[in-house]
C-alpha cells in the first residue's frame, strides 16, 4: 500500500488487492475507526478521491487516490517546555520516546509544565507541527522507558484499540530483591486500590484482572535481573505482583523494596506494535539512561 503526506492530506493509493472497497469499508473494516470519528470525518467532509468528493458507499478502483484531511492545525493541549527528549521513532502519525525517570508522562493538574508531554509539545512546535500530544499508555513517574504518543485522532483511536487487543508488546527489565526460585513464571492476581493509602495498589479479589509473566535473565546474588511482560496494564502492576511473591523491586520503598536506588529499578526496554495506518511492524529498543543496573 503506497501512502504519502501532502500538506494536511494523508494520501493512499488504492492497491490492486483491495477489490470493491469503499471509503466506508476502509474506515470501518480496515482501520476499525470508531463510529464517532467516522461521523466527524463525514460531517467535516474530510475525505476526497482523486481531488473530488466521492460517495462513501461506492466502490473504489485500484490506483484511485484516497485523500484524507488528517493533519489539521490544532492548538497544543499542554504548554510547550524545552528539555532533553530521547526519540526512538517518529513519523507523521506517532512518536515513540524514551522517558527518563523522575518525570510524569503528562500533566496531572493545570499548570504542570515539566512533564514528558510538555517536552513533546516543544518538539512539535520546533518542527512546525501543530498537533495535540496524545499518550497511548503511561509509565509511573519513577519508571523509565518507551512510550507511544499519537499525533492525530485516527492514529490515537487505532493505537488505543491495538493496546486493548494486546498487539502493543511491551517488555520491561526489573531488578528485584532476592533470588527467584523459578527461571520463569506467571503471576495472575487481581489488583485493586489500597483503601488505606492514596497511591498504593494491592492484590484484591474484587480488583481488576492482572497477569504478569517474568523470566530470569541474571542471578546477582541477593538480587535478580528479570525480563517482564504484561498481559494487562494495571497501575503499579509489576511492582505489586513482584512484591506479592516476595521479590519487591530494588528501590521501590512503596512496596517493600530497599532504598538501594533513588527510584524503583524498572525500565520499559522494548516496545513493538503494528503501525496504525500502514500495518508495518515498528520495534523500538530503549536504553536505560541512568545507572541502576538495568542492563543485561
| DSSP string of 17-71, one letter each residue | T-TT--HHHIIIIIS---HHHHHHHHHTT-EEETTB---TTSPP-TT-EEEEE--
512503596: which residue's cell?
254
Residue 58 CB neighbours (<10 A): 10
Indicate if 140 belongs to the active site. Answer: yes
484499540: which residue's cell?
161
C-alpha cell belonging to residue 35 = 463510529
500495518: which residue's cell?
279
* Catalytic residue, candidates 140, 142, 194, 252: 140
Q: Give phi and psi for 46, each to the nearest 5.
A: -80, -5
Q: Give phi and psi for 123, each to the nearest 5.
A: -60, -45
Please answer whether residues 14 and 66 qualify as being in contact, where contact means their C-beta atoms are separated by less than 8 angstroms. Answer: yes
State the helix-helix crossing angle for 35-43 and 153-164, rounded to 10 degrees.
170
Q: Which residues are catalytic?
A: 140
Amino acid at each position: 500500500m503506497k501512502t504519502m503526506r501532502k500538506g494536511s492530506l494523508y494520501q493512499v493509493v488504492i492497491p490492486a488487492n483491495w477489490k470493491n472497497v469503499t471509503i466506508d469499508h476502509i474506515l470501518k473494516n480496515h482501520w476499525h475507526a470508531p463510529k464517532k470519528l467516522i461521523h466527524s470525518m463525514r460531517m467535516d467532509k474530510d475525505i476526497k478521491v482523486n481531488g473530488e468528493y466521492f460517495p462513501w458507499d461506492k466502490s473504489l478502483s485500484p490506483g484511485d487516490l484516497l485523500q484524507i484531511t488528517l493533519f489539521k492545525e490544532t492548538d497544543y493541549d499542554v504548554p510547550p517546555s524545552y528539555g532533553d527528549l530521547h526519540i526512538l521513532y517518529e513519523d507523521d502519525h506517532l512518536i515513540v520516546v524514551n522517558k527518563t525517570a523522575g518525570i510524569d508522562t503528562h500533566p496531572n493538574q493545570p499548570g504542570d509544565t515539566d512533564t514528558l508531554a510538555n517536552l513533546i509539545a516543544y518538539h512539535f512546535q520546533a518542527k512546525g507541527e501543530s498537533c495535540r500530544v496524545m499518550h497511548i499508555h503511561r509509565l509511573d513517574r519513577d519508571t523509565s522507558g518507551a512510550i507511544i504518543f499519537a499525533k492525530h485522532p485516527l492514529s490515537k483511536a487505532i493505537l488505543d484499540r491495538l493496546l486493548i487487543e494486546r498487539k502493543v508488546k511491551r517488555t520491561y527489565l526489573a531488578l528485584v530483591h532476592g533470588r527467584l526460585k523459578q527461571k520463569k513464571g506467571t503471576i495472575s492476581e487481581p489488583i485493586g486500590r489500597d483503601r488505606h493509602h492514596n497511591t498504593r495498589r494491592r492484590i484484591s479479589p474484587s480488583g481488576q484482572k492482572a497477569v504478569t509473566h517474568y523470566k530470569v535473565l541474571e542471578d546477582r546474588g541477593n538480587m535478580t535481573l528479570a525480563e517482564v511482560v504484561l498481559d494487562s496494564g494495571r497501575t503499579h502492576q509489576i511492582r505489586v505482583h513482584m512484591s506479592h511473591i516476595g521479590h519487591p523491586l530494588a528501590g521501590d520503598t512503596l512496596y517493600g523494596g530497599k532504598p538501594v536506588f533513588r527510584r524503583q529499578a524498572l525500565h520499559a526496554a522494548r516496545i513493538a506494535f503494528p503501525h496504525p495506518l500502514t500495518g508495518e511492524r515498528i520495534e523500538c529498543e530503549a536504553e536505560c539512561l541512568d545507572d541502576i543496573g538495568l542492563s543485561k
